Chains A and B, each alone.
Chain A
């Protein structure tokens, strides 16, 4: 893949548990973004972390970035059934034109 790997590819948890997804990328970055895609819908932007940031929080979301390992993780705490979706990380890679390069995605199922 252009981006690298996301793992796991699929994750199934019970409501209330935490979910962690990981993403690796290949080139130097300006920022890394996480998006959610509900079944049959478009992508919704969740959070953007800049290359000089190590951690960022937004509600129940926590994102970390390790530029030395070229990896990021997304943690969803106290998951809900409504969090069931596919999650994608994206960077601009070496592009200077704004195009996003996406990971393969992690499909999360949260069981009520």
Chain B
């Protein structure tokens, strides 16, 4: 597609439950990035992919967060055993091949609320 699509738009989970977020990058884009935005301010990088390969996972809290980008499927970000502090908006972005320093195209985000 011509835009990055993210589903669901909103997700509510009880503490300890699993949450799974999906992202369909723009067709033809090679790079996918996940960011977490807490309190409408700071964006925190989580993980990036080059096609289906993890490119950089230095931002991931590895004990509970995992992510995948498999061929012919939306990318996913999964949080096992959610905590209150995971409440945030999660943004996915993609960028075209030819350079990972290009501009990034962002999806509308998934708002996760952990109760």
Number of interchain pairs (Cβ within 8 Å): 59
For A99-111 the 0/1 string (1 means CB < 8 A from B) is: 1111011000000
Give the size of the chain B interface in residues (CB under 8 angstroms): 27
CB of B42 within 8 A of chain A? yes
Residue pair A98, B91 in contact (C-beta under 8 Å):
no
Which of A42, A44, A102, A104 counts the most B-chain CB atoms under 10 A from its CB? Answer: A42
Select the stretch in B12-20, B66-74, B77-85, B98-106 that faces chain A.
B98-106
A73-108 to B contact mask, C-beta < 8 Å, 1/0: 000000000000010101010010111111011000
- Are A41 and B108 in contact, CB atoms less than 8 angstroms apart? yes
Residue numbers in B under 8 Å from A92 (CB-CB): 101
B103 in contact with A98 (CB, 8 Å)? no
The distance in angstroms between the C-alpha atoms of A100 and B91, with both chains bound, is 12
Q: Which residues of A contact B (CB under 8 A)?
A: 1, 30-31, 33, 35, 41-45, 48, 86, 88, 90, 92, 95, 97-102, 104-105
Chain B interface residues (CB < 8 Å from chain A): 4, 31, 33, 35, 40-43, 45, 48, 55-56, 58-59, 91, 93, 95, 100-109
Having A90-B43, A98-B100, A99-B48, one finds 5 other A-B pairs with CB under 8 Å, namely: A35-B106, A42-B4, A42-B91, A97-B48, A100-B104
